[in-house]
Amino acid sequence: MSTENEGNAVPPAPSAPPVPVASPDASPQGPAPHGSAPTAPLPPVPQDAPAASAAPGHGPAHRPGPAPDGSWPPPPVTPAYADGGAGGAGAGWAAPYQQPAPTPRSGRGGLVAAVLAAALVAGGLGGGLGYTLARNQDDHGSTTVSADSSAAQVKRAPGTIANVAAHALPSTVTIEAEGTDGEGGTGTGFVFDTQGHIVTNNHVVADAVDGGKLTATFPSGRKYDAEVVGHAQGYDVAVIKLKNAPSDLKPLPLGDSDKVAVGDETIAIGAPFGLSNTVTTGIISAKDRPVASSDGSSASKASYMSALQTDASINPGNSGGPLLNASGAVIGINSAIQSTGSGGFGTGQSGSIGLGFAIPINQAKYVAQQLIKTGKPVYARIGASVSLEESTDGAKITEQGAGGAAAVESGGPADRAGLKPGDVITKLDDHVIDSGPTLIGEIWTHKPGDKVTITYTRGSREHKVELTLGSRTGDS
C-alpha cells in the first residue's frame, strides 16, 4: 500500500493486512509514569512499476522508471508528504507554514462583536440582580457561598483521555522546518530522552537537513532552535536535538507495539493544519498494514513500513507525532494517511477520512537509537530484487536487477539460501507476503543478523529456507 505523508494523495490500501493477527492477551499495559509531520494518502499502484530490490542496495529508485543508481526500491506509487516538508508544500505529513491571516473587520468578526456586547450587557444585568438578591437575603440573616475562581483546574481520573493528554502534551513539540530557499512546513515530534532528543518523521525535517532552520515549540510556548542528529528516509524516522535543552524534559514512555491488538484505544497528538497541541482519539483498526510512501521528488527515497492503522483523526501536520495507547505510552509515530482528495483550510492538502498509519514504536525506537549513536540508519536486507507490481500471489524475484545488475546478489543472504530469479516469496516467518512492498516493509521490521524463515514457490512446488538478514548503512 502506498500512502501520502499527511497531505499527499495515497493509493488505495489493501483490503486487509497481509496476515490475520490474533488478539494478544487482554492484559492492559501498565500506566504510564507521570513525567517519564505530515501523513500522506496512498496512490494506486501502477501495473507497469519497475522491479525493485527488497534490500536497500538493489533495485531502481522509488519513482516509476529505471533508477539512476539502482540503490533503492521504488514505491509502487508516488505519494506526497502531507506536512509540506520534503518536496515542498503539500508534499509531506506536515502543514505548510503560513503567517496567520489578519482578523476580518466585518462578517464573522462583526457577529462576534455583537455577541460579545450582548454578553457584556447580560453580565451587567446579572451582576446587579445578584447583588440585589444577596442584599435581600442578608436582611433575613442568610449567607451566600461562591466558587473560588482561583481554584486549580479539575483533575481527571487516571486512564481517562483527558488525564493521558494532560501528561503527554507537555512532552510533545510542534516542529517548523525551513530550507535555505525559504520553503518549509510544520510537523510534530515528542521528547525521547532527557538530553533533548526529539523523535519525528524524516519528511517533517527534510527541508532543514542541509543548512535550513529548525525550531521546536512546546505547548507552554517555550521555543527552541534545533538541529538534525540523523534521519532515515527508508524508515521515515528522524531525530533532532534541542539547542540549550531545558533540564526538566520528561520523555514519553514507550509501549510495546508488538502487543497492540485490533480494537485497542488510541490517542494521537499533533498539529493538524498548523493547529498545535491537538488531541484526537480512535482505535487500532488493523495491524501489519503494508505502506509505501514518497514525496515524489527525484531527490527523495521511498519509505516502507508494516504500519499500525488507526481511525483517530490524523491530518497534515500530525506527522511525527505520537500515537498513544490508553495508558499514555507511545505505540507508534503518525506518518501517513489514506485520503480521497484534497481540500481544507486553503492548503490544498488532503484531510483525514479515518485511515491513518503509524510506524510501530518498536521499529522506530531501534532506528532512533541508531541515529543518536551514529547519525546513520542501518537497514536489514536479503540481497534480491523483487517486483513492485501489485499482486496477491507474493513477491517475485525479478529476472534482472536495476541497471542490468544481477537480481540475486552473489554471496548475499538470498544467494546463500538458494533463492533464484523467478522464485515467489509468499511468507516471511508467519507473515503472509502478497507483494514486493509488503516484503520490504516486513524485512525492515527486523534487524541485521536476524534469522528469518522464507517460504517461496518455484514452479508448482513450495519450499522453506532459513536465512540470516544482511545489512546496509545509510540512505545512499
- Residue 198 neighbours by CB distance under 10 Å: 30
> What does the alpha-carbon distance between residue 332 and residue 188 come to, in Å, rounded to a whole number?
13
> What does the alpha-carbon distance between residue 189 and residue 94 come to, in Å, rounded to a whole number?
11
Cell of 14: 489493501
Phi and psi at 45, nearest 5°, equal -85, 125
116 three-class SS:
helix
What is the amino acid identity at position 384? A
Phi and psi at 20, nearest 5°, equal -65, 130
Cell of 256: 510495546
List 150's β-bridge partners, or say none: none
> If you search the block for the grid coordinates 532506528, which residue do you land on?
367
From the list 6, 8, 10, 78, the residue with the least C-alpha distance to 37 is 6
443 three-class SS:
helix
What residues are annotated to the active site? 203, 236, 319
Read out DSSP for 193-251? STTSEEEE-HHHHGGGTTT-EEEEE-TTS-EEEEEEEEEETTTTEEEEEETT--TT--P
> What does the alpha-carbon distance between residue 64 and residue 177 come to, in Å, rounded to a whole number?
28
Q: Are strands 424-428 and 395-396 parallel, antiparallel or unpaired?
A: antiparallel
